[in-house]
């Protein structure tokens, strides 16, 4: 059995930032990553647009990852285990992992940071009707095949869902000479970033149809086309308006699900984010277990991931070294217009806390309000807010007198 | 031209059962399958239920082979290391449905199948989530669930290990009579045989026509299914059916042998052309959802990980299992619809005994057992430790959802009936069958297939010819940092 103060599960941007900040507080750290390389999903995001907030410059995914990777690999206080898949984590923080180099590995951690990222929703998860030929992939799988393995999944493409990976793949496949015929979104608004719609679709004249979905796929061995239809208010397709679009590829960008299988029966998960319920330290319902990055809630900007993970890593180190302060906790609840807010709990005390949230539809010119103990403690006027863009509002802990709610005024 | 004693046409559960049974005899056998793998027809997309045998009309072939097959299946599954669980089954009836249950109970008695009628209280002990409408049920303790494609493939593996030949991607296009038997013509060549067994499922009618046998009318009925995430596995313990109607056994809720939950099937008449395609319909899925709610409460459809459809082929109301009168040595297996999976071990034995008797095949003294394969998700921590030490490939996890190692995938690719496609790997070791449906491991499985089969990545297929996953090369690659 090996021993570490802090064990980080997952070596993507969240895991790496957490490891570095845990080290700063003097903890011994291990990073367990199942891939043969650190960097997580960023390794396949070869486009630029990363790091504008964190580093103040525009980097590609691999460049952004490399900065963190180099720092981690240079730090002798961080042990990195690659090709190491964590199989189980027990309540007393014994981790069991498997790797070709080490075989079965058992590690006792004082504190754990969960940084396992997320997975994509599949065709099965959305119960896509029709045939099941080659040519139907999640956008991330197609991205990996394209950017890591060097092969292109098809030439005539239709994309279902306006998630960021789908948008980015629309541009990538176009640059590879494929024709992206259409992007469809079942909701009346996009789930991706505005900037991705502009840069990946508008700039290439790729049409985006809202309130539209795929009703069935056709093709025996290879996809030959999809039937699509507009949907009504209940999101049910209006089949009289069904039309056929010939294509050889359907990419799905229909949602990301935090990868919490390892801990789902051990920690409290939010039914909305599908990630852990945490306090502002990113501590989960199980003492000494912290969570950050896409495994906590799906982020659209890696900069936010790094920031969040730094908090989790630092807190995990403090916990392991017996220095994490404890106090009364207030619940944070979203209401009117706000779909979720994170952290879900805030400890009374001093300092500032950023509450991240997503709205439930597109709003223009609304005011976000935070109330505590019945009093409004913060208000912020906003121009446009969309579900695809994570927002935050910063509050002062000293202003809190009771449970916190966050909502939009005038809704 | 190579000569065989017996040629089996069709690599479904029935054809491979025949081949497996023949492997106990000194006979030279060949199985021809048009698809890229075994179990690509009805045998891959069905409910996977081992029916106890109360449903079939007493005196029919269906009843005979079902009851016998159900008795043989548990031992066969154990011999071939195929996932099987004896779960028992319930035919659940609302108030007023008792008469229907009595009919089934009577058939059970006549067929020699254990069954009893349970009150709601007793049902609740077995199925705490049974719908409030259900008042009584026929309980058959000997019913179970099996992985149909794993059974089919394991039968093929066993036969090959014991001397049989299996040829995939080879379609039978014609059969001619010769002096000593038959000449079977395929898309790739010609083979001679003393006996031919037609186990071509939906394609059986065409084989009959090719040889000049009576033409039969095949009827096709498609069925839609949902498979739910293994985290829903607590919703049902036994196989729960509604009362059967004229269309069949109805929409059931059951655990699968691999730990998921299966919901379905519907029964839709389809054409011969559609029977090949197995398209899922939205209407079908809606019927499944309704049917399920009438049986079990609290099934979360939102936890679906897969939908699919399969097609049954029937000829009249019973199986046709007989040697052709016009063409002695030509054995027909027609209209093997449900309960064909359950019946298959008994059908296999029956056909093998027929051939052995007719051609005086000697029984082998012993056969080579199919070795048990390592499976990380089913082994203890100590076994995992040992195996990874022995061979690092068993320490490298490729499919994260189902915890499948590279070593398991390599052994599937190099098994007696080799897995040459992504789907063939999936059916053998479950890589890509979990909650992310291969989103993560598909490219990695492709990389392993490409390396092991010495094929470019762009040539790796999902299934049959024409199903290349990523057929084009990227022009504008990027350099790794
Ligand atoms: C395709 C795509 C495009 C994006 N585009 C942009 C963009 O343009 N600009 C931008 O700023 N942001 C973008 N993002 C967002 C940002 O990159 C992600 O939010 C960020 O990578 C998430 O980091 P993470 O560390 O939480 O997860 P990941 O990067 O997914 O890392 C998780 C790591 O954990 C490992 N792991 C999981 N389970 C285990 C286990 N059991 N044992 C061991 N290891 C495990 C995984 O292998 C993985 O390496 C994009 C995201 C995606 C998916
Ligand atoms: C929806 C559904 C649910 C069912 N549920 C159950 C159940 O719960 N329990 C049960 O006992 N039974 C069940 N069954 C029945 C069972 O699945 C079938 O009886 C069984 O799979 C039939 O096996 P087979 O080998 O005859 O046919 P198939 O599996 O269809 O095999 C025939 C094979 O022949 C090949 N072939 C066809 N033509 C040619 C040619 N010219 N040359 C070479 N190869 C050819 C095909 O590619 C195919 O692989 C169900 C069936 C369906 C469709």
- At residue A142, the pLDDT reads 98
Residue from the list A119, A124, A218 with its beta carbon closest to the beta carbon of B440:
A119
ipTM greater than 0.85: yes
Position A405 scores a pLDDT of 97
The nearest CA of chain A is from the CA of B94 a distance in Å of: 30
Average pLDDT, chain B: 96
Domain shared by A77 and A142, yes or no = no
A129 and A221 fall within a common domain: yes
Q: How confident is the model at residue B4 (pLDDT cuts 50, 70, 90)?
A: very high
Boundary residue ending a domain (A225, A254, A283): A254
DSSP B113-173: ---EEEEHHHHHHH-TTB-TTEEEEEEETT-EEE-HHHHHHHHHHHHHHTT-EEE-S--EE
Nearest CA in chain A to B392: A100
For B410: left if phi > 0, alpha if psi spans -120 to 50, otherwise beta; the answer is alpha
For ligand 2, what atom is nearest to the CA of residue B336? Answer: 19
A141-145 long-range contacts, CB within 8 A, separation 24+: A141/B438, A141/B439, A141/B440, A141/B442, A141/B443, A142/A169, A142/A173, A142/A249, A142/A251, A142/B470, A143/A44, A143/A45, A143/A168, A143/A169, A143/A172, A144/A44, A144/B443, A145/B443, A145/B446, A145/B469, A145/B470
| Average pLDDT of the segment spanning A273-284 | 98
Query: Residue A233 is encoded by which pair of tokens?
Result: 């208010």
Q: Which of A117, A162, A290 to mutate to test the pocket of ligand 1 (most atoms within 8 A of CB)?
A: A117
Phi/psi for A180 (5° steps) reads -95, 110
Q: What is the Cα–Cα distance from A277 to A334, expressed in whole angstroms?
A: 13
Same domain, A238 and A155: yes
Rounded to the nearest integer, the mean pLDDT of chain A is 96
Ligand 1: residues with CB < 6 A are A 9-15, 32-35, 40-42, 45, 47, 49-50, 85-86, 115-117, 140, 143, 164-165, 168, 259, 262, 293-295, 299, 301-303, 305
Nearest to A151 among B384, B405, B474 (CB): B474
Are B457 and A120 a contacting pair at CB < 8 A?
no
Number of structural domains (chain A) is 3
B454 part of the active site: no
Overall average pLDDT of the B21-47 stretch: 98
Residues A146 and A113 in one domain: no
Q: Name the B residues in 384-423 with CB < 8 Å from any A CB.
A: 384-385, 388-389, 392-393, 395-397, 400-401, 403, 405
User: Which residues are registered as beta bridge partners of B185?
Assistant: B174, B190
CA atoms within 13 A on the CB side of B246: 1
CA distance B99 to B121: 19
User: In ligand 2, which atom is closest to the CA atom of B186?
Assistant: 42
Question: Is residue A345 located within the same domain as residue A292?
Answer: no
| Residue A144 forms contact with B (CB below 8 Å) | yes
Could you write out the DSSP letters of every residue in A379-395?
Answer: EEE-SEE-TTS-EEEEE
Q: Considering only residues 418 to 457 of chain B, which have any Cβ-Cβ distance to chain A shorter than 8 Å?
A: 435-440, 442-443, 446-447, 457
| Domains (range + CATH), chain B | 1-84+145-216+315-372 (3.50.50.60), 89-141+219-311 (3.30.9.10), 376-470 (1.10.10)
pLDDT 10s digits, B358-369 = 999 999 999 999
On chain B, the residues whose CB falls within 8 A of the CB of A123 are 437
Q: Is the peptide bond before A343 cis (omega within 30 degrees of 0)?
A: yes
Distance CA(B222)–CA(B334), nearest Å, equals: 17
Which residues fall within 8 angstroms of residue A239, CB to CB, at 6 or more apart? A215, A229
* Mean predicted confidence (pLDDT) in A350-379: 95
Atom of ligand 1 minimally distant from the CA of A61: 17
Ligand 2 environment, Cβ below 6 A:
B 9-15, 32-35, 40-43, 46-49, 51, 171-172, 199-203, 207, 223, 265, 310-312, 336-342
Q: Do A320 and A331 fall within a single domain?
A: no
| Whether residue A354 has pLDDT greater than 80 | yes
In this predicted model, what pLDDT tens digit does every residue of B312-359 receive, in sequence order? 999 999 999 999 999 999 999 999 999 999 999 999 999 999 999 999
Q: Are residues A6 and A76 in the same domain?
A: yes
Give the pLDDT confidence of B95-111 residue by residue, as tens digits.
999 999 999 999 999 99
pLDDT, average across residues B392-411: 97
Look at residue A141 and tell me whether its pLDDT is greater than 90: yes
CA A141 to chain centre: 16
User: Are the Cβ atoms of A222 and B467 closer than 8 angstroms?
Assistant: yes
Task: Tally A–B CB contacts below 8 A.
Answer: 174
pLDDT at position A277 over 90: yes
pLDDT tens per residue across span A13-42: 999 999 999 999 999 999 999 999 999 999
Q: Strands B2-9, B190-198: parallel, antiparallel or unpaired by DSSP? A: parallel
CATH code, A311:
3.50.50.60
Output the pLDDT for position B458. 97
Q: Kindly give the number of the ligand 1 atom that is closest to the alpha carbon of A41.
A: 29
pLDDT tens track for B236-249: 999 999 999 887 88
pLDDT at B478 over 80: no
Q: Which of B51, B81, B414, B454 is labelled catalytic?
A: B51
Residues A287 and A221 reside in one and the same domain: no
pLDDT digits (tens, 9 = 90+) for B268-321: 999 999 999 999 999 999 999 999 999 999 999 999 999 999 999 999 999 999
* Residue A210: pLDDT over 80: yes
Distance CA B309, CA B259 (A): 20
Which pLDDT band, with edges at 50, 70 and 90, does A49 fall under?
confident
Task: Inform me whether the pLDDT recorded for B476 exceeds 80.
Answer: no
Average of pLDDT values for A64-68? 96
Q: Same domain for A229 and A134?
A: yes
Q: Which residues span the domain enclosing A29? A: 1-118+258-324
Q: So what's the pLDDT on residue B180? A: 86
Put simply, the answer to whether A152 touches B472 (Cβ < 8 Å) is: yes
Q: Is the pLDDT of residue B479 over 80?
A: no
CB A44 within 8 Å of CB A147: yes
Is the distance from CB of B238 to CB of B90 less than 8 angstroms? Answer: yes
A249 and A355 part of one domain? no
- The ligand that comes nearest to the alpha carbon of residue B174 is 2
Per-residue pLDDT, B248: 82
Q: How many A from CA of A271 to the centre of ligand 1?
A: 21
Position B90 scores a pLDDT of 98
Examine the domain organization and report whether A1 and A68 are in the same domain.
yes
pLDDT tens, position by position, B133-184:
999 999 999 999 999 999 999 999 999 999 999 999 999 999 999 988 999 9
Eight-class DSSP state of A104: E
Distance separating alpha carbons of residues A20 and B96, to the nearest angstrom? 69
Question: What end-to-end distance do the CA atoms of chain A give, in Å?
Answer: 55
CB A117 within 8 A of CB A8: no
Measured between CA atoms, how close is B477 to chain A, in angstroms?
Answer: 6
For the domain that residue A338 is a member of, what is the CATH number? 2.60.40
Do A275 and A305 reside in the same domain of the chain?
A: yes
Structure confidence at residue B245 (pLDDT):
84
């Amino acid at each position: 059995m090996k021993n570490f103060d802090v064990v980080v599960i997952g070596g993507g941007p969240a895991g790496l930032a957490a490891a570095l900040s845990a080290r700063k507080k003097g903890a011994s750290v291990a990073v367990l990553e199942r891939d043969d390389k650190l960097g997580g999903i960023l390794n396949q995001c070869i486009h630029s647009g990363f790091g504008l907030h964190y580093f103040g410059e525009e980097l590609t995914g691999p460049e952004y990852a490399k900065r963190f990777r180099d720092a981690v690999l240079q730090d002798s206080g961080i042990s990195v285990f690659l090709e190491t898949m964590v199989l189980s984590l027990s309540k007393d923080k014994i981790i069991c992992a498997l790797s070709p180099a080490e075989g079965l590995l058992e590690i006792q951690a004082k504190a754990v940071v969960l940084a396992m990222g997320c997975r994509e929703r599949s065709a099965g998860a959305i119960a896509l009707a029709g045939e099941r030929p080659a040519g139907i992939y999640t956008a991330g799988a197609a991205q990996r095949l394209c950017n890591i393995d060097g092969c292109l999944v098809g030439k005539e493409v239709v994309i279902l869902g306006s998630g960021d990976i789908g948008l980015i793949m629309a541009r990538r496949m176009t640059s590879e000479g494929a024709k992206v015929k259409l992007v469809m979104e079942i909701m009346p608004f996009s789930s991706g970033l505005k900037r991705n719609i502009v840069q990946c679709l508008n700039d290439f004249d790729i049409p985006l149809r809202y309130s539209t979905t795929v009703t069935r796929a056709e093709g025996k061995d290879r996809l030959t086309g999809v039937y699509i239809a507009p949907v009504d208010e209940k999101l049910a397709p209006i089949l009289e308006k069904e039309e056929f679009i010939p294509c050889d590829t359907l990419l799905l960008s229909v949602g990301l699900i935090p990868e919490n299988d390892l801990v789902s029966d051990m920690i409290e998960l939010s039914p909305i984010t599908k990630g852990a319920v945490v306090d502002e330290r990113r501590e989960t319902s199980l003492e000494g277990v912290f969570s950050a990055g896409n495994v906590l809630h799906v982020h659209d900007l890696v900069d936010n991931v790094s920031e969040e993970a730094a908090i989790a890593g630092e807190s995990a180190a403090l916990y392991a070294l017996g220095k994490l302060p404890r106090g009364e906790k207030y619940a944070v609840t979203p209401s009117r217009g706000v779909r979720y807010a994170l952290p879900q709990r805030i400890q009374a005390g001093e300092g500032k806390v950023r509450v991240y949230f997503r709205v439930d539809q597109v709003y223009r010119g609304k005011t976000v309000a935070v109330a505590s103990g019945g009093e409004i403690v913060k208000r912020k006027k906003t121009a446009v807010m969309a579900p695809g863009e994570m927002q935050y509002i910063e509050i002062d802990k000293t202003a809190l007198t009771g449970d916190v709610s966050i909502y939009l005024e005038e809704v | 031209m190579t000569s065989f004693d017996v040629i089996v046409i069709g690599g479904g559960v029935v054809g491979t059962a025949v081949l497996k049974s023949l492997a106990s005899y000194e006979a030279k056998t060949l199985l021809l399958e048009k698809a890229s793998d075994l179990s690509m027809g009805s045998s891959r997309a069905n409910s996977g239920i081992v029916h106890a045998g109360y449903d079939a009309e007493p005196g029919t072939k269906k009843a005979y082979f079902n009851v016998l097959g159900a008795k043989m299946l548990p031992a066969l599954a154990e011999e071939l290391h195929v996932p099987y669980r004896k779960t028992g089954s319930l035919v659940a009836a609302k108030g007023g449905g008792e008469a229907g249950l009595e009919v089934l109970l009577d058939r059970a008695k006549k067929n020699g199948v254990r069954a009893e009628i349970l009150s709601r209280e007793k049902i609740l002990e077995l199925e705490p989530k049974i719908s409030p409408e259900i008042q009584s049920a026929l309980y058959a303790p000997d019913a179970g669930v099996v992985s149909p494609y794993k059974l089919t493939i394991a039968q093929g593996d066993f036969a090959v290990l014991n001397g049989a030949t299996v040829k995939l991607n080879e379609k039978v296009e014609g059969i001619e009579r010769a002096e000593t038997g038959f000449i079977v013509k395929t898309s790739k060549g010609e083979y001679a045989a003393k006996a031919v067994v037609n186990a071509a499922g939906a394609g059986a009618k065409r084989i009959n026509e090719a040889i000049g046998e009576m033409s039969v009318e095949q009827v096709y009925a498609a069925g839609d299914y949902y498979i739910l995430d293994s985290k829903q596995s607590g919703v049902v313990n036994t196989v729960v059916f509604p009362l059967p109607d004229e269309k069949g056994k109805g929409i059931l809720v059951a655990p699968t042998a691999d730990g998921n939950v299966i919901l379905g099937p519907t029964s839709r008449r389809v054409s011969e052309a559609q029977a090949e395609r197995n398209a899922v319909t939205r209407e079908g899925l809606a019927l499944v959802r309704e049917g399920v709610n009438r049986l079990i409460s609290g099934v979360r459809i939102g936890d679906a990980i897969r939908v699919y459809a399969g097609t049954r082929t029937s000829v009249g109301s019973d199986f046709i299992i007989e040697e052709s009168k016009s063409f002695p040595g030509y054995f027909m297996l027609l209209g093997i619809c449900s309960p064909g999976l359950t019946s298959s071990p008994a059908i296999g034995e029956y056909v093998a005994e027929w051939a052995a008797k007719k051609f005086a095949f000697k029984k082998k003294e012993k056969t080579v057992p199919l070795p048990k394969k390592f499976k990380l998700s089913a082994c203890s921590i100590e076994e995992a430790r040992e195996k990874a030490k022995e061979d690092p490939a068993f320490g490298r996890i490729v499919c994260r959802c189902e915890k499948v190692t590279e070593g398991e995938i390599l052994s599937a690719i190099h098994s007696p009936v080799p897995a040459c496609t992504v789907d063939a790997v999936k059916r053998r070791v479950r890589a890509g069958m979990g909650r992310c449906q291969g989103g993560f491991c598909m490219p990695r499985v492709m990389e392993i297939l490409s390396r092991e089969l010495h094929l470019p990545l762009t040539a790796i297929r999902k299934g049959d010819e024409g199903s290349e996953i990523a057929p084009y090369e990227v022009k504008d690659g990027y350099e790794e940092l």
